[in-house]
Amino acid sequence: MGHVELAELTKVFDNDGNELVAVNDLNIEIEDGEFLVLVGPSGCGKSTTLRCVAGLERTTRGEIWIGDEEVSDKKPKNRDIAMVFQNYALYPHMSARENMAFGLKISTDLSPDEISTRVDNTAEMMGIQDLLEKKPGELSGGQQQRVALGRAIVRDPEVFLMDEPLSNLDAKLRSSMRTELQDLQQELGVTTVYVTHDQVEAMTMGDRIAILNHGELCQVGTPLECYHHPDNRFVASFIGSPSMNFFDAEIQYSDVRTEILTDSFEYTLSESTVDRLTDRVTNAVLGIRPEDIRLASDDVSGIQATVTVTEPIGERTYVYLEIGDLSCTASMPGNLTFKPGEEIEIDIPEERIHLFDQETDEAVL
Ligand code: ATP
């Protein structure tokens, strides 16, 4: 089956005597049929991880399991994977049909007729029959990527490995191809490891997402787990747009009440929230997502803020605020309008706040 496991996967590049740890001790288990997205900023080791799974890169340490086999020493063609690249990587002198058939010709003992039937069936499933006799140069980017996907699908592998397959497409096509790809993956039920640097793509496509930074795994979980319960400050800032607001804060505990003191405002924590803290840190970072900041209702005293800039984007309006010396962004309903310089009172709902240890950046709430 297409269960994939990375155990202590490590890849070190030697750049003229300078060692660069591109992937550091990665442990991820990917269920059979799961769509797992590897996401993180440029250079965090996503492609290297995928290339190690594909066998295009030799691992320095650790194990890669596909199904019941440890494949680290196997050639790419013996790993039962099919890879889709950002630049499509189609052979320019071959027609779409020949591109799709090529892998089957060289790595299986299927007859030409059987290969032809499989190519036709896959093309029909993907609605690309009328592209089959064309060469890549005659196809648009989106069509080329469909053919490249078809070439992966026709091989009927245990695992799809996809490296930013949609990033050369324009925004509209990218978004429709996202849905198409997800539907296909669900229909086929093939385990998929998908690399992207785009957190929206990761959130919308992945059954689970694995967030990497500097070659290390920061968190793996469902998109909503990572959004609502980030394990650390990096995940909190990477997932969600606009990004979470952070305020350095001191927490003062006492029997009567627990206060969070920032440079510009104070915040009282209820006992039940204090009980939920996993560590009673003193130096903390208070995090609040822009969409969780509300206008204070008339009967509650809120935090005084000054509007600096507003950005209406339709359904929401991004409101840039100053709270004393601190700046933050709020995402308010689009029907609300504000003027620069306007004084407002905001509410930061306690059930929506995040707290991180200032020293380790780990979440404590
Ligand atoms: P991007 O989103 O920009 O493609 P990435 O997260 O996929 O980035 P990788 O391409 O895996 O990152 O690169 C991780 C690190 O390893 C980077 O610092 C990169 O410069 C380095 N690296 C990648 N390939 C090689 C190589 N063949 N030789 C030396 N260093 C490499």
Query: Tens digits of per-residue pLDDT, 82-93?
Result: 999 998 899 999
Residue 76 token pair? 């790419």
Query: Tens digits of per-residue pLDDT, 299-336?
Result: 777 999 999 999 999 999 999 999 999 999 999 999 99
Q: Which pLDDT does position 39 carry in this prediction?
A: 98
Residues with Cβ < 8 Å from 235, sequence gap 6 or more?
Answer: 211, 218, 219, 226
Residue with tokens 């803290």: 277
Domain boundaries, the chain: 4-237, 242-357
Of 12-16, 27-31, 223-227, minimum mean pLDDT range: 12-16
Give, for ligand 1, the residue of 6, 12, 13 to mutate: max count of ligand atoms closer than 8 Å to Cβ.
13
Q: Is the fold of 4-237 the same as that of 242-357? A: no
* Domain topology for 4-237: Rossmann fold (3.40.50)
Provide the angle, in degrees to the nearest 10, between the axes of the packed helices 141-154 and 96-107: 20
Q: What pLDDT band is residue 169 in, cutting at 50, 70 and 90?
A: confident
User: Is residue 24 lining ligand 1, measured as CB closer than 6 Å?
Assistant: no
Nearest CA to ligand 1 atom 24: 48
Query: Tens digits of per-residue pLDDT, 118-146?
Result: 999 999 988 899 999 999 999 999 999 99
* Strands of 303-312's sheet in order across: 294-295, 343-347, 303-312, 316-323, 326-333
pLDDT for 77 beyond 90: no
* 184 C-alpha to ligand 1 centroid (Å): 29
* 146 C-alpha to ligand 1 centroid (Å): 26
Share of the chain above pLDDT 70, in %: 100
Closest to 290 (Cα-Cα) out of 239, 328, 264: 328
* Domain topology for 242-357: OB fold (Dihydrolipoamide Acetyltransferase, E2P) (2.40.50)
